[in-house]
Chain A
Amino acid sequence: MHPAYSVILFTTSSGAGYGLLFWLSLAHVIGAQPVAGWGFFAGLFIALGLITLGLLSSTFHLGRPERAWRALSQWRSSWLSREGVAALATYVPAGVLWLMSLLGIAGWLTLPLALLSAIGAVATVWCTGMIYASLRTIREWHMPQVPYVYLANAAASGALLLVLLHAFAGRDIRLVSLIALLALGLAGALKLIYWRRIDAEPGAYTADMALGLKGVKRQLEPPHSRPNYVMREMGYDVARRHAETLRRSVLLWGFLLPGLMLAFQALTGGLGPVLMPVAVTAAAAGLVTERWLFFAEATHLSTLYYGNQRA
């Protein structure tokens, strides 16, 4: 599948935003982040900013961005529609919470608002994962792990941002570093399991099945002299060799490097303002590469008509 940069930026940016929103809301619920605090206000601002940046970027993927509002209508059957509804619905409690933080209004209301924000964040990222997991035409996406990979990545990147905020606010970062480390470890483990599964599965469909004929040897002539939309969009292929190099860099930059820094901080609680910008930058590069690979490594059944023997 063709890795569209708008979709990669959308899912990584809004994923991190929803992750941060989730952790901030939870922290507020347990009393660790008071509404009036500077950290809560700045955190919500960054979370909502990343979410908005992602959502705006996703509309660049559309052929008719001005009609994007129509996507809210078919939530009964479409995961993409559900994602849009969940994303907009999450703005309500998170936005009110941010306003209350801005104006310094404390009260019992912040508790349900924070809970709703956390639930909205999880629901939106779950819908994003399900858009891919529900597509039976792509075996690398139609897997039960996929929405959990999306959730774990969002939780890990959000937690990294939370540690960054804590570090700059001069707060104790040992506990948040440990939480971020656990989230990052879970995300990395899930990704390794995912890669092992897609490598072990050769694909259930063949060119013979696609044509309904036995003994399809090769495509003698394609229907067109230059690639059409189907080949450009669905036929994108990354060389095995490159994919393995990229997988290694995802593990190094996205998980190992920030993981080591988090572990150091969880133990010592020091050097936060120095290490965290590096950790966040490395993780961002790693997670964008991870998302790029998620598309580039996905094989679509329609390639069976264009010379692919198995998908």
Chain B
Amino acid sequence: MTTLPEKTDKSLGLVIDLDICVGCHACVTSCKEWNTGGYSAPLTDQEPYGADPHGAFLNRVHSYEVDNDHWKGTVHFPRSCLHCETPDCVTVCPTGASYKREEDGIVLVNPDTCIGCKLCSWACPYGAREYDYDEGVMKKCTLCVDRIYNETIPEEDRVPACVKACPTGARAFGDLADPNSAVSQNVAARDGFNLLDEFGYKPVNKYLPPRKASDRTPQIAAEPQAETTGSALEKLFAWADRALSR
């Protein structure tokens, strides 16, 4: 457990489409709702109705102003654990509580052996791990490990809660190690990318960029002007039109 698996059978992860996300935070709340009763239960809050409310969430949505030749405007940006292939959050753990699963690549924290030293959160450049101040242990995205293999719920629900909740379909779940999976195909077609690729943790989760906004203003033909004859009748109608529109 102390070291990373040399190879994982699958690389389960999320693909997040920044072109579609509307920043509604439905993924955030449904994540919190599921996980406060699931593997990471409970996800505690501190001062929820006080002056300084905060708490452990496994998924966060930022909104940024972005201005480049491709896209100019707001980008809503969901951020959670990327289930990296070579992350230090696993290797720095002194107890082996933080580990990466060999079978599917999911990075988990064992809540029964975590001592709450917070070192794993220091090693994560993505700020994906959040300490639970009441429980004294580290919490992080589990990729809903207690949903995706859960045979007691209908098959169509066996996806992470955030994916199930997204009203616009901006989140997709699948095996990113399989080049033929729907998520991998979409990443290839849309130039999906890694966050902080230069840092080298090899994230599994991918992001799809906003589509290029159209650079052409639509050409709308001017309405043709009616021919004018200058007759008395036409002048009468013109006078009546003016008088009635007064």
On whether the two chains bind one another, the answer is yes
Q: Which residues of A contact B (CB under 8 A)?
A: 1, 61-65, 67-68, 70-74, 76-81, 84, 131, 134-138, 204-205, 209-230, 232-234, 300-302, 304-306
Interface residues on B, range: 35 or more
Residues of A within 8 A of B66 (CB): 211, 213-217
Q: Residue of A at shortest CB range from B134? A: A63
B63 at the interface (CB under 8 A from A): yes
Q: How far is the CB of A57 from chain B (nearest CB, A)?
A: 14
B window 106-125: CB within 8 A of A: 113-119, 121-125
Complex alpha-carbon distance, A81 and B209, angstroms: 40
Q: How far is the CB of B113 from chain A (nearest CB, A)?
A: 6
Complex alpha-carbon distance, A226 and B52, angstroms: 6
Q: Which of A217, A224, A225, A301 has the most CB of B within 10 A?
A: A224
Q: Which residues of B contact A (CB under 8 A)?
A: 1-3, 18, 23, 25, 28, 52-57, 60-71, 74-75, 77, 79, 88, 91-97, 113-119, 121-127, 130-133, 135-137, 193-199, 207, 209-210
Q: Residue of B at shortest CB range from A58? A: B117
In the complex, are the beta carbons of A302 and B126 less than 8 A apart?
Answer: yes
Q: Residue of A at shortest CB range from B127? A: A302
In the complex, are the beta carbons of A74 and B115 less than 8 A apart?
Answer: no
Specify which of B61, B68, B96 is in contact with A74 (CB 8 Å cutoff). Answer: B96
Q: Can you report 23 A-B residue pairs in the complex whose CB atoms are below 8 A from each other?
A: A61-B117, A63-B132, A63-B136, A68-B115, A70-B97, A71-B95, A74-B94, A77-B3, A78-B93, A136-B123, A209-B199, A211-B64, A211-B77, A213-B64, A213-B71, A214-B69, A218-B64, A219-B64, A224-B60, A226-B52, A230-B130, A234-B127, A302-B127
Specify which of A212, A217, A232 is in contact with B67 (CB 8 Å cutoff). Answer: A217
Q: How many A-B residue pairs have CB under 8 A?
A: 202
Residues of B within 8 A of A135 (CB): 88, 92, 122-123
Residues of B within 8 A of A220 (CB): 63-65, 74
Specify which of A77, A134, A224, A301 is in contact with B196 (CB 8 Å cutoff). Answer: A301
Specify which of A65, A81, A229 is in contact with B56 (CB 8 Å cutoff). Answer: A229
Q: Residue of B at shortest CB range from A220? A: B63
Q: How far is the CB of A178 from chain B (nearest CB, A)?
A: 39
Complex alpha-carbon distance, A81 and B91, angstroms: 10
Q: Residue of A at shortest CB range from B57? A: A228
A213-B75, A219-B63 are known contacts. Are A74 and B95 too (CB-CB below 8 A)? yes
Residues of A within 8 A of B97 (CB): 70
A220-B74, A300-B122 are known contacts. Are A229 and B54 too (CB-CB below 8 A)? yes
In the complex, are the beta carbons of B64 and A216 less than 8 A apart?
Answer: yes
Residues of B within 8 A of A232 (CB): 54
Residues of B within 8 A of A302 (CB): 124-127
Complex alpha-carbon distance, A213 and B71, angstroms: 9
In the complex, are the beta carbons of B125 and A70 less than 8 A apart?
Answer: no
Residues of A within 8 A of B135 (CB): 63
